[in-house]
């Protein structure tokens, strides 16, 4: 994570989290091959104001065609 500071509130405590829906973690699949391996989507967010700085696919090689 390159940004060490929140662009909204200037807080320096940036945390990593997982995005979930109900009881499951949101997964990324290949658009052209939805039966391929998946990978969880994580995010970096400000622990002060909750601003989401970015979304990332944990294992991008899993969602290739």
pTM passes above 0.85? no
Domain that holds residue 40: 14-63
Residue at 9 is within a domain: no
| Rounded distance between C-alpha atoms, residue 14 and residue 24, angstroms | 23
Residue at 3 is within a domain: no
pLDDT tens for 40-58 read 889 999 999 999 999 988 8
Residue at 47 is within a domain: yes
Longest Cα–Cα distance of the chain, Å, equals 41
pLDDT tens for 1-34 read 565 899 999 999 999 998 888 788 888 887 877 7
Q: What total of structural domains would you count in the chain?
A: 1
Residue at 4 is within a domain: no
Tell which residue, 24, 64, 4, has the closest CA to residue 53.
Answer: 4
The Cβ of residue 6 has, within 10 Å, a number of other Cβ atoms equal to: 20
Q: Which residue has the tokens 């995010």?
A: 43
């Amino acid at each position: 994570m390159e940004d060490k500071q929140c662009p909204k509130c200037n807080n320096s405590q940036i945390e990593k989290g997982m995005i979930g829906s109900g009881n499951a973690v949101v997964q990324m699949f290949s658009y052209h091959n939805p039966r391929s391996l998946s990978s969880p989507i994580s995010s970096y967010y400000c622990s002060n104001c909750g601003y989401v700085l970015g979304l990332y696919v944990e294992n991008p090689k899993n969602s290739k065609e």
